[in-house]
Structure 1
Amino acid sequence: MDVLKQHQVHGGTLKYLRHDSVSTGTSMTLSVFTPAGEGPFPVLIWLSGLTCTEDNFTTKAGAYRAAAEHGVIIVAPDTSPRGEGVADDPAYDLGQGAGFYVDATQGPWAPHFRMETYVVEELIALIDAEFPTTGARSISGHSMGGHGALTLALRHPELFRSVSAFAPIASPTRCPWGEKAFTAYLGADRAEWAKHDAALLIEGGAAKGHFDDILIDQGDADGFLVEQLKPELLTAAGETAGQKVTLRMQPGYDHSYFFMASFIADHVAFHAERLKR
């Protein structure tokens, strides 16, 4: 990996990195915070939302103080492949910056938009090879990245000790963002969509026996709450499946990183406890 820039923060080291990805066939960028000391350390993967890069969480979430205190590496990849020859769309909610953490099967997206494979196979292997990890990892994210964190954890539970999300797209088969993206990336077959819907996966028992709790924070002043996010579908699914889902509705908070900065320490602590068991 090429080191693009490096900073010291809270006694640890933050690196912005670039590498050639086999999964996407493009260069991919990411940021990695490593606490002070020799390690090894457990890993928390963070998946960001629509329009974001590896930089939004790094500069806005204020997560690294808690990560340093708990001795956790935090990895934040970009949200999609990018570059010349990579398909795109003028809209903010499709194409570059909007990978939705699925492997596209439809043109023109299929050649490069393979974000599920990138995260669960290539990124994890790369981090374990290049950084002093314990091999234990958890996953979290925001909005589209919250959808990604939940669905990747539910589809690959053997890879993760715990999962949480901020304002996730809870059921992309039942909201405009998800319907648009899934039609483009996966085609018209809603049975394929259902394989990437967190609420439906929980309802079907995907979390049972793997996650003692799923932590969700959601602001009640979020402008996307009713039409796009629908967190109540996650708690309803958990009740059906007998899976604990802790939904914390936070009064007055919106969809921004100010919301995440207010509660990110709780999520780092939530994961650290489970990563060190």
Structure 2
Amino acid sequence: MTLETVSEARSFGGTQGVYSHDSEATGTPMTFAVYVPEHVAGTKLPVLWYLSGLTCTHANVMDKGEYRRYCAEHGIILVAPDTSPRGDDVPDDEGYDFGKGAGFYVNAVQEPWAKNFQMRQYVEHELPQVIAKHFPVDMDRQGITGHSMGGHGALTISLRNPGKYRSTSAFSPIVSPIHCPWGQKALGGYIGDDKSAWREYDACALIEDGARLPELLVDQGHADNFLEEQLKTHLLEEAVRKAGMNATIRLQEGYDHSYFFVSTFIGDHIAWHAERLKA
């Protein structure tokens, strides 16, 4: 489990790093970003996983998310994985919403995707082992969040792993891939035509099938041009209401789908996670 340091820079007293390793899950090198705030030597800190959206790498939130000040203030490590395997030998699709940059945090079973597109295995199991070995994290204090496709990832990963994450939030999540064009293309391509197998990758379906979170925070821009066709926040509102699940879902007037929106509210989310990760 050799780790290569791609870059490191000091920021708000801590270290913003980019690292790579050879992944057994994807069969490719994988790159990820980690921000470690300044801390007393020997101290283990809570960790917040940030999952990015379509077309993104680790660099999008690192460059535009503006999270470091808040992570430094609250003493939280933030880890940002890539969104898919990369490399010349990795299959791809002409569309931006499938293939490289669009792993959807699933374990693909269809060819030619099955060999490399094992992002569920990577994010749920392999990368946490790497982080636990190489960084001062307290794995008993994990939170998870994400944006768009990454919001879908955060919700479904947390719902499938009760008790693993103390806190779960999302920005503009794809709440029900079963019911939107992005999700139908991805799940059909990676998983196949059996829609019953899609349900474990759909937050609303997981809640309908009995999965629960103790609480949830979601922010969604009201001016998001993907809201009606792809994100369908109202389906999550309906699912949590029927389940009696404690969820705060906020429609933010005037905000779109961009990192201008994410960076505006990421401080709120990190403070919210900090309350639960330090309890």
TM-score (norm 1): 0.97
Contact between 1:235 and 1:246, CA under 8 Å: does it hold in 2? Answer: no
State the alpha-carbon separation in 2 of the partners of residues 43 and 200 from structure 1.
Answer: 27
Cα displacement (A) at 1:276:
1.1
For 1:100, the equivalent position in structure 2 comes to 104
Task: Specify which of 235, 249, 261 is matched with residue 237 of structure 2.
Answer: 235
For 2:14, the equivalent position in structure 1 comes to 12
For 2:121, the equivalent position in structure 1 comes to 117
Verify: 1:36 aligned to 2:21, yes or no: no
Verify: 1:248 aligned to 2:253, yes or no: no
Verify: 1:183 aligned to 2:180, yes or no: no
In the alignment, residue 113 of structure 1 is paired with which amino acid?
Answer: F
In the alignment, residue 157 of structure 1 is paired with which amino acid?
Answer: P
Cα displacement (A) at 1:31:
0.3
Cα displacement (A) at 1:157:
2.1
Name structure 2 gaps, 5 residues minimum.
none
State the alpha-carbon separation in 2 of the partners of residues 233 and 246 from structure 1.
Answer: 14
- Where do residues 38-117 of structure 1 align in structure 2 (5 Å cutoff)? 38=41, 39-117=43-121
State the alpha-carbon separation in 2 of the partners of residues 185 and 193 from structure 1.
Answer: 10
Cα displacement (A) at 1:148:
0.3
State the alpha-carbon separation in 1 of the partners of residues 129 and 196 from structure 2.
Answer: 30
In the alignment, residue 144 of structure 2 is paired with which amino acid?
Answer: I
For 1:127, the equivalent position in structure 2 comes to 131
Verify: 1:202 aligned to 2:204, yes or no: no
For 2:142, the equivalent position in structure 1 comes to 137
Cα displacement (A) at 1:201:
1.0
State the alpha-carbon separation in 1 of the partners of residues 272 and 231 from structure 2.
Answer: 22
State the alpha-carbon separation in 2 of the partners of residues 252 and 114 from structure 1.
Answer: 36
Summarize deviations over 1:53-76 as a string: whole Å, max 9, x none.
Answer: 000000101011000000000000
Task: Specify which of 224, 227, 241 is matched with residue 225 of structure 1.
Answer: 227
TM-score (norm 2): 0.97
SS of structure 2 residue aligned to 1:30: strand
In the alignment, residue 7 of structure 1 is paired with which amino acid?
Answer: A
State the alpha-carbon separation in 2 of the partners of residues 245 and 233 from structure 1.
Answer: 13
In the alignment, residue 195 of structure 1 is paired with which amino acid?
Answer: E
SS of structure 2 residue aligned to 1:92: coil
In the alignment, residue 134 of structure 1 is paired with which amino acid?
Answer: D
SS of structure 2 residue aligned to 1:195: helix
- Displaced runs of 4 or more, over 2 A: none
In the alignment, residue 236 of structure 1 is paired with which amino acid?
Answer: E
SS of structure 1 residue aligned to 2:107: coil
SS of structure 1 residue aligned to 2:183: helix
Task: Specify which of 153, 161, 164 is matched with residue 156 of structure 1.
Answer: 161
SS of structure 2 residue aligned to 1:157: coil
Verify: 1:264 aligned to 2:266, yes or no: yes
State the alpha-carbon separation in 1 of the partners of residues 106 and 122 from structure 2.
Answer: 9
Cα displacement (A) at 1:213:
1.4
Cα displacement (A) at 1:133:
1.1
Contact between 1:234 and 1:245, CA under 8 Å: does it hold in 2? Answer: no
State the alpha-carbon separation in 2 of the partners of residues 3 and 195 from structure 1.
Answer: 35
Give the paired residue count. Answer: 274
In the alignment, residue 71 of structure 2 is paired with which amino acid?
Answer: A
Considering only aligned residues, what root-mean-square deviation do their CA atoms show, in Å? 0.8
In the alignment, residue 45 of structure 2 is paired with which amino acid?
Answer: F
In the alignment, residue 125 of structure 2 is paired with which amino acid?
Answer: E
Cα displacement (A) at 1:165:
0.3
Cα displacement (A) at 1:158:
3.0
Name structure 1 gaps, 5 residues minimum.
none
SS of structure 1 residue aligned to 2:163: helix
Summarize deviations over 1:68-99 as a string: whole Å, max 9, x none.
Answer: 00000000000000102111001100000000
Summarize deviations over 1:205-254 as a string: whole Å, max 9, x none.
Answer: 211xxx33110000010000000001111111111111012110000000
Cα displacement (A) at 1:178:
0.2
Cα displacement (A) at 1:185:
0.2
Cα displacement (A) at 1:203:
2.3
